[in-house]
Structure 1
Amino acid sequence: MSKIWLIAQREYLTRVRKKSFVIMSLIGPLLTAALFAVPILIATLSDNGKVVAVADAGGLFTDRLPEAKDDISFTRVSADLTAAKAEFKKAKYDALLYVPKLDVTNPTGFQVFSRKGLGLSLENDIRRSVNKAIENQRLRAAGIDRAVLDNLKVDVDLQTVSLSDEGEKSSSTGISTGVAYFFGFLIYIFIFIYGVQIMRGVMEEKTNRIVEVVISSVKPFQLMMGKVLGIAGVGFTQLALWVLLSFGISSVMAGSVSPDKVVAERASRTTAVAGATTPAQKEAQKENIAAKFSQALHSADLNMPLLAACFLFYFLGGYLFYGALFGAIGSAVDSETDTQQFMMPVTMPLVLTFVVSQAVLTTNPNGQVAVWMSMIPFTSPIAMMMRLPFGGVPMWQLAVSMVLLIAGFLGTIWLAGRIYRVGILMYGKKVSYGELSKWLFYKG
């Protein structure tokens, strides 16, 4: 154990002292925030408001044009298509909608002209506006008032409650899904990042022939175990720094906004909502969405201590399980190009879990597929963390999953050690799966 500890300490200190580790630890939370914020910001900046010219030859919009929205507005041009095209080119509108003479029972012949292709969002907005106008004419012909029909529609505020033997607890499916994806994504990305580090570290020592000197003092199994544990410590250190920095950044941002000021601004905007301009209405809607999200976050009665403890366990267990396999791959090959044939079977369960999570794990977290995937060590680190935020996971399933993951780690360490002891000193030979199977049964 002392030799394993020395190797782990060396691996840990070597990586923690690197400038790249310090830089990534500091800017990691900012990059994570940018990963979610930049696409929204780009979509907001690129959405400057589209203007659609309408050539209404069929009289579909005789009474009025479709209502303008934040991202699209309509203007009327000549009903003659030739004149409308000329005006469209001259005025540089974003799109030209031509409404032919039509029968509302069988509306056909609509055309949309654009200069460089029509975006999907703009096309859908135009289609919805045309569909609504045709629906209004059909309702009018049937003697039905559109306002009465709209008043019949209801948006129910549905509160979800988890009922179990422990009692009633408030829950939020949206918040639970977000937390599940967050934990699952962290485990997924850290296994890949630090598992590949183990593989490259083993390959580097093997190609530099350093390992020939090292294994004269330690056994190959001890060397691999020390590498796995040392790099695991690096991963935990970086994760802890990211959590602390993220908490500090969020606290500063929350403290910079006074609650009284937010309430006062919200009240002033509410009183002026009737005559407010479009930007003011947009800000009021954003604050309303933020308030609903905050309320949902508080109403989602998540067992955070259990989630945190299980996350640490599955984070470490999943890393150790896959880290041993990555180390075995690194010892079996001589170059990174040779790792591809062995990487696919190892990484496929992780990718499969993420693919299945969208269709099964978050939609039916207590179904048979979810239960079995949370038991199998290859998929349990992500699958179980996908299930836990939704609640309802029996303690016996959680215990069995943890025991199987520990057993799986011990099994992969044993298998990887058998491969490691042979492959670490083998150079210049292309290794196949058949060759690896022989290494497992070599004596000595």
Structure 2
Amino acid sequence: MNKIILIIRREYLSRVKKKSFLVTTFLVPFLFIAMYALIFYVALNNQEPLTTVYVVDQSGFVENKLEDTEHLLFLKTDESVDILKKKMERGETSSLLLIIPKEVAKLQTVELYDTEKKGIATINTIETKLNDILKAKALADAGIDVTILNTIKPAVSIKSKELTIDGEKDSHVGTAIGISFGLSILIYISLFLYGNQVMRGIIEEKSNRIIEVVISSVKPFQLMMGKIIGVGLVGVTQFILWIILSAGFMTATSAIMINSNPEIHNSFDDKKIPGAEVTKQNNQEQQSRVDTIIQEVKAIDYPYVLGCFLIYFIGGYLLYSALFAMVGSAVDSETETQQFMLPIIMPLLFTYMLSFSVLINNPHGSLAFWLSMIPFTSPIGMLVRIPFGVPIWQLLLSITLLIIGFLLTTYVAARIYRIGILMYGKKASYKELFKWFRYKG
């Protein structure tokens, strides 16, 4: 046991003291927040330019009903289509040319000319306006009052409630889906990130023949377990620091944004600015949505979610890192690992792909249940289900099966590891691995 602790200590300290570990640990939360802030800033400031759309309306009823938008200016023109096309070809104008045929209601087709391809948003805006105009005309021809119809705008919102032993509580399905996405991506990346570190460390020591010196002092099983647990503790340390730093950065960023952006309704006088009442109403609706999101985020049981994440990260890491260690001991270089990696990653990849469709749409179905029970898929399958609420007996059964799976996997990996770690120059195959497993002693 003392030898395993020494190996754990060496693996842990040798990685934690590296500059790359310190830089990654302290910069990753800041970089993620900075990236989202940059995306938000670019999205707000990279607006579409104002584009003029010349309209040639052969139907006679569309052009007067095309209302300008923030980015599109519709202008009626009496020039012929050929003249306008030649101007565009010569570069005299960079505007769009919209040609509306006489039988547009029957043909359901218009032509849009441009010298360069416009973004999809511009085309969608024009299509939406034309569809609304044609729909209004069809309703009017049918004797339906369009004005009354437009005033009927039902907006039902579902407030999900969950019935529990303790009574009613909000369901927060949207928040649960967001957390499920985040956890599935995080656990998928982390298992490969730290599992690969174990495999690469073993390959490096094996290729440098350092392993021959180490193996003379400790048993192969002790060496394998020391490496697995040491690298795993590095991952746990990094995750804990990321959680603490991310929470600190987000709190500081939120405080700065609130202090630097006072309430919008204080920045103008409702009586002096046209449309102020509409703007104020929109701001109130946006604030209401923001308040709802904040309440849902605050309602999350963070200790429970983070606790489950750490349990499944540690369990999944121990299981998969044993397999990665087995592969590392069987090969002499990383290029030889490809034939063994696909069977290892398939269960995780399969569950990861299903988490974005089947699991979040039916988190309590039979497929979701079994994926959250099988040790090779439960690190992702159960974490996707946890935000939706999982019975405690299922959670305990899943953790128990994960522990059993880790013990069995470690047993198999250790028997192959003890032989493969001293094998050089011979390309391993599945047949060879099976022989190594059956060797006695």
* Shared fold (TM-score, shorter chain, > 0.5): yes
**Which residue of 2 is the match for residue 240 of structure 1?**
240
Larger mean CA deviation between 349-358 and 18-27 belongs to 349-358
The sequence identity of aligned pairs, in percent, is: 42
Task: State the match for 1:307 in structure 2.
Answer: 305
Are residues 20 and 151 of structure 1, via their aligned partners in 2, closer, same or farther at CA, if it must alter by over 3 Å? same
Secondary structure of the residue aligned to 1:162 is strand
Structure 1 residue 258: Cα displacement: 5.1
Q: Distance in 1 between matches of 2:350 and 2:72?
A: 40
Aligned to 1:81: 81
Relative distance call for 1:87 and 1:11 in structure 2 (3 A) is same
Give the alignment partner of residue 392 of structure 2, picking from 387, 392, 395. Answer: 395
Task: State yes or no: 1:408 paired with 2:405.
Answer: yes
Aligned Cα RMSD in Å?
Answer: 2.6
Show the counterpart of 1:422: 419
- Cα deviations by residue, 1:127-148 (Å, 9 ceiling, x for unpaired): 2222222112212222223332
Partners of 2:94 and 2:114 within 8 A in 1: no
Instruction: Name which of 329, 332, 335 aligns with 1:334.
Output: 332
The aligned amino acid for 1:350 is: L
In the alignment, what sits opposite 2:62? 61
User: In the alignment, what sits opposite 1:106?
Assistant: 107
Contact 1:57 / 1:80 at 8 angstroms: preserved in 2?
Answer: no
Match of 1:432 in 2: 429
- Return the letter of the residue paired with 2:322: A
C-alpha distance in 2 between matches for 1:291 and 1:182: 25
Structure 1 pair 72/37, CA: closer, same or farther in 2 (3 Å)? farther
Alpha-carbon distance, 1:101 to partner: 1.7
Local SS of the residue matching 2:107: coil
* Contact preservation (8 Å) 1:318, 1:381: yes
CA, structure 1 residues 374+133, in 2 after alignment: closer, same or farther (shift >3 Å)?
same
1:107 Cα deviation from its structure 2 partner: 2.4
Cα deviation, residue 329, structure 1: 1.2
- Superposed counterparts of 1:264-275, under 5 Å: 264-266=263-265, 268=267, 271=270, 275=274
Structure 1: runs of 5 or more not aligned: none
SS, match of residue 64 in structure 2: coil
Shift in CA distance, 354/79, structure 1 to aligned 2, threshold 3 Å = farther
- Check 1:270–1:406 CA distance in 2 against 1; reply closer, same or farther (3 A cut): farther
CA gap of 1:66–1:115, structure 2 versus 1, over 3 A, is same
Q: CA deviation at 1:308?
A: 2.1
Aligned partner letter, 1:275 = P
Question: What is the deviation of 1:114?
Answer: 2.7
1:355 alignment partner in structure 2:
353
2:32 maps to which residue?
A: 32
One-letter identity of the residue aligned with 2:99: Y
8 A contact 2:200–2:328 mirrored in 1: yes
- Equivalent residue of 2:335, what SS? helix
Q: Aligned pair 1:296/2:293, yes or no? A: yes
Task: Measure the CA separation in 2 of the matches of 1:436 and 1:176.
Answer: 43
Counterpart in the other structure of 2:223: 223
**When the two structures are superposed, what TM-score results if normalisation uses the length of structure 2?**
0.91
The CA deviation string for residues 176-195 of structure 1, in whole angstroms up to 9 with x for no partner, is: 11111122222111111111
CA contact (8 A) 1:9 1:230 kept: yes
Q: TM-score, normalised by structure 1?
A: 0.90
Match of 2:365 in 1: 367
Amino acid at match of 1:249: F
* 1:72 to partner: Cα distance: 4.4
- Rounded Cα–Cα distance in structure 2 between residues aligned with 1:194 and 1:53: 56
Indicate conservation of the 8 Å contact 2:220/2:414, yes or no: yes
Residue equivalent to 2:378: 380
Distance in 1 of aligned mates of 2:271 and 2:180: 40
Alignment partners' CA distance in 2, 1:181 and 1:274: 43
Q: Is the partner of 1:96 in helix, strand or coil?
A: strand
Cα separation, 1, equivalents of 2:140 and 2:85:
31
Unaligned runs of 5+ in 2: none
Shift of 1:117: 2.7
